[in-house]
């Protein structure tokens, strides 16, 4: 690839440029409305080049969601690291995740009408996203893959069907998530 698109074989930089271009289109048009040709054009590459990096639209979607999930996960983990109470840490991590997704246009686009089902499908099958749920549980006794997957579903639920306001969502998470997921003996 030397001398080609982006030169010097910088595959990671090329993939990032494609994903960044896709992100902008997702915000402008909606995730499901954006085709591979549009992404290639926005990235300044040919469709053939795009397909060298992402074999199809689903692969591009997965790469995008995984990149964003890792970024979100790192930010949330850093923000809750100082919270020692497991329930409070979990509650804060869930609500911070929801707030960050809502306030970040490239993430919020995945939960717009017509696109939310795609986000749900990807989250349901993603080890990276389910890993975020595991990280939110931390070292709590009884932490399990199924509990982590349930946490992801709680976050998706709040993004797809929001509570009345922040206080309502906090109450829902406190009463039903923290109390059920983290046994009282742990706190």
Residue 79 lies in a domain: yes
Residue 75 lies in a domain: yes
| Section 3-27 average pLDDT | 82
Q: What is the mean pLDDT of the chain?
A: 88
The Cα-based distances of 131 to 74, 145, 146 in angstroms read 11, 9, 11
| Section 103-130 average pLDDT | 90
Tens-digit pLDDT profile for residues 144-158: 778 888 889 999 999
* Residue 3, pLDDT above cutoff 80: no
State which residues form the domain around 146.
62-186
Residue 27 lies in a domain: no
Quickly list DSSP for 47-79: HHHHHHH-SSHHHHHHHHHHHHHHHHHHHHHHH
Those residues whose C-beta lies under 8 Å from the C-beta of residue 47, and which sit 6 or more positions away, are: 36, 37, 40
Q: Which two tokens stand for residue 23?
A: 């992100």
Residue 123 lies in a domain: yes
Residue 37 lies in a domain: no
Q: How many domains does the structure of the chain reveal? A: 1
Tens-digit pLDDT profile for residues 56-104: 999 999 999 999 999 999 999 999 999 998 889 999 999 999 999 999 9
Residue 25 lies in a domain: no
pLDDT reported for residue 182: 74
Q: Which two tokens stand for residue 106?
A: 């490239």
| Section 125-135 average pLDDT | 84
Residue 135 lies in a domain: yes
Residue 31 lies in a domain: no
Residue, of 28 and 7, whose pLDDT is higher? 28
Q: pLDDT confidence of 187, banded at 50, 70, 90?
A: very low
Closest to 36 in 3D by CA, of 27, 25, 28: 25
| Section 112-131 average pLDDT | 88
């Amino acid at each position: 690839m030397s001398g080609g698109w982006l030169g010097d074989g910088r595959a990671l930089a090329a993939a990032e440029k494609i994903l960044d271009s896709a992100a902008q289109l997702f915000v402008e048009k909606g995730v499901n409305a954006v085709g591979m040709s549009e992404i290639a054009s926005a990235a300044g590459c040919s469709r053939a080049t795009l397909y060298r990096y992402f074999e199809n639209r689903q692969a591009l979607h997965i790469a995008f969601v995984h990149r964003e999930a890792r970024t979100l996960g790192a930010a949330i983990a850093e923000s809750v690291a100082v919270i020692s109470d497991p329930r409070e840490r979990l509650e804060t991590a869930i609500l911070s995740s929801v707030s960050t997704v809502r306030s970040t246009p490239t993430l919020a686009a995945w939960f717009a009408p017509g696109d939310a089902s795609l986000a749900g499908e990807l989250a349901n099958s993603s080890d990276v996203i389910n890993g975020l749920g595991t990280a939110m549980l931390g070292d709590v006794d009884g932490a399990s893959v199924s509990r982590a997957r349930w946490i992801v579903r709680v976050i998706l639920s709040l993004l797809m069907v929001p509570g009345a306001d922040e206080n309502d969502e906090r109450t829902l998470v406190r009463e039903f998530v923290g109390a059920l997921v983290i046994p009282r003996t742990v706190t």
